[in-house]
Amino acid sequence: MKKIITISRECGSGGRQIGKQLAEKLGYSYYDKELIDRVAKESGLAKDFIEEQGEHITGSLLFNIASNMTYAGMVFGGNMLPLQDQLFVVQSDIIKDIAAKENCVIVGRCADFILRDVPDSLHVFIHGNMENKAERAVKEYGFAPEDVEKTIRKRDKARANHYKYYTDYEWGKAQNYDMTLNSSTFGIEGCVNLLYDVATKE
pTM of the predicted structure, to 2 decimals: 0.86
Torsion angle (degrees, nearest 10) of CA 106, 108, 110, 115: 10
Position with higher pLDDT, 58 vs 109: 109
What is the domain class of 4-199 according to CATH? alpha beta
Please report, rounded to a whole number, the percentage of residues in the chain having pLDDT higher than 70: 86
The pLDDT of residue 24 is 98
CA angle 103, 54, 112 (to 5 degrees): 40
The pLDDT of residue 110 is 96
The pLDDT of residue 57 is 58
**Run of H or E residues at 126:** strand 121-127
Report the range of poorest mean pLDDT among 35-49, 68-82, 141-155, 178-192. 68-82
Neighbours of 6 (CB within 10 A): 29
Amino acid at site 117: D
The pLDDT of residue 61 is 44
Q: What is the DSSP letter of 147?
A: G
- Quick check: 67 pLDDT over 50? no
Q: Report pLDDT digits (tens) over 170-190.
A: 999 999 999 999 999 999 999
| DSSP helix/strand/coil, 27 | coil
Report the range of poorest mean pLDDT among 30-44, 143-157, 185-199. 30-44
Identify whether the C-beta of residue 179 lies closer than 8 Å to the C-beta of residue 121.
Answer: no
Q: Shortest CA distance to 86 belongs to which of 53, 114, 63, 51?
A: 53
Q: Report pLDDT digits (tens) over 116-155.
A: 999 999 999 999 999 999 999 999 999 999 999 999 999 9
Quick one: CA dihedral 49, 54, 57, 61, positive or negative? positive
Q: Shortest CA distance to 62 belongs to which of 46, 86, 82?
A: 82
